[in-house]
Amino acid sequence: MNDFFISALPIIKSIEKAGFEAYFVGGSVRDYILGRDIHDVDIATSATPVELKKIFAHTVDVGIEHGTIMVLYKNQSFEVTTYRSESEYKDHRRPESVTFIRSLYEDLQRRDFTMNAIAMDGNGNIVDPFHGRLALKANMIKTVGEADDRFREDALRLMRAIRFVSQLGFHLDNETEAAISKHANLLEYIAVERISAEMQKLLGGKYKEKALLIALNTKLYQFFPSLCNQEHILSEVLSLPINQLNETDMWLLFLYLTESDEPTDLMKKWKFPAKKIQFLNRALNELSIRKCQEWSVYDLYRAGEHIAITVEKLYQTLNGKSGEYVEQNLVARFNELPITSREHIVISGNDVLEWTGKSGGPWMKELFIHLEKAILTKEIANEKEEIRRWIITCLLP
């Protein structure tokens, strides 16, 4: 049994000792069966939050209205959720109310996909009333019960379905894919932040091409921020060798193909954080330069290693090539630069003012740009005395 399960066993055993049921559920059980890495575990129980608080001395209410509390044990935290059933969904996202129940079967019945409706007890025994293991064996994503009902209840499941395709490489069963196509418009009810979070995971998946093809064929992409009526963009993305690209590379590709005069506005539609917007805007600018010329030492220096690699990978992808060899070459060239940031220059602005007797001003910025280029092209060495002589010579009337 995985270490995460072992560390959580005292929680399971304490709940059982108090006379209640407790099981590992959800993604951790699915990934355990698949032999994938597990990063945390979720526990479901027949005990109510009030009963759990009597069992454990240290708890935190993290979603108690939905039956979830955090149990703190030996410097670790474990989410424990009471079995529950749900009423009608009011907005295709959240149920009107939840009811705490004592039945594991009914709790698993409300879940999204059969592969996520598998439970495991503390001894490793599997409870699988909806044949999730058969779906896993067939590499298939299938809803629990009627697909129409599951997507009407929670429209974020539309995104989760294709995100799992990207991460696992599975296919959708016919009913599930047909229901996505039928209910794609329900994605309009979901907060952009939630869609964006799922899209990030999708674009970072190993099988992103497969997932994006489903988004295209089902028309789900029509309800993505900034991609409505942009079928040609998605088709062009799918015509390229995108498997070598990571999530950030993929966003850069979408932005580049959109050819928007206001890429920042597009990124804001996806609710990107400011730091990500800044990075992608810089990368777009460097990509426009890379399209016109090879990397000079100053281009590499100005871009920085991360942006330069991102841009080069995308440039190679747009030309239908793998960027692996070129990327390695680029890293080697970057590592050979005399300096990789302005902070590496051995002098400061104060040194310049002292040597020249001048007051600060815009000329200082221009001087340092010329100085960077001189060091990068090895016109001069990054040594204080040599730089002093170079500056005095440059500023002679």
Q: How many CB atoms lie within 10 A of CB 213?
A: 16
302 known member of a binding site: no
Q: Which residues of 55-89 are buried (b: 16+ CB within 10 A; e: fewer)?
A: bbeebeeeebebbbbbbebeeeebbbbbbbebeeb
157 known member of a binding site: yes
150 known member of a binding site: no
384 membership: H or E segment, kind and range: helix 384-394
42 known member of a binding site: yes
The pairing of strands 140-141 and 171-172 is: parallel
Place of tokens 């690209």: 245
Structure tokens at 282: 């810089």
State the amino acid at position 170 in one-letter form. Answer: F
Q: What is the dihedral of CA 360, 363, 364, 365, to 10 degrees?
A: 130
CA atoms within 13 A on the CB side of 298: 13
163 known member of a binding site: yes
194 known member of a binding site: no
Residues with Cβ within 8 Å of 112's Cβ and at least 6 positions away in sequence, in order, are 143, 144, 150, 154, 157, 160
Residue in 150, 122, 118, 111 with CA at minimum distance from that of residue 133: 118
| Total H helices, total E strands in the chain | 20, 11
Strand, helix or coil for residue 78: strand
> Measured between alpha carbons, how far is 214 from 119 in angstroms, rounded to an integer?
29
Give helix 192-203 / helix 247-258 axis angle, nearest 10°. Answer: 110
299 known member of a binding site: no
333 known member of a binding site: no
Residue in 379, 383, 372, 316 with CA at minimum distance from that of residue 346: 383
Residue in 258, 260, 328, 313 with CA at minimum distance from that of residue 283: 313
Contact 204, 198 (CB under 8 A): no
36 known member of a binding site: no
Return binding residues for ATP. Answer: 27, 30, 111, 154, 157, 160, 163
Return binding residues for CTP. Answer: 27, 30, 111, 154, 157, 160, 163
Return binding residues. Answer: 27, 30, 40, 42, 111, 154, 157, 160, 163
Return binding residues for Mg(2+). Answer: 40, 42
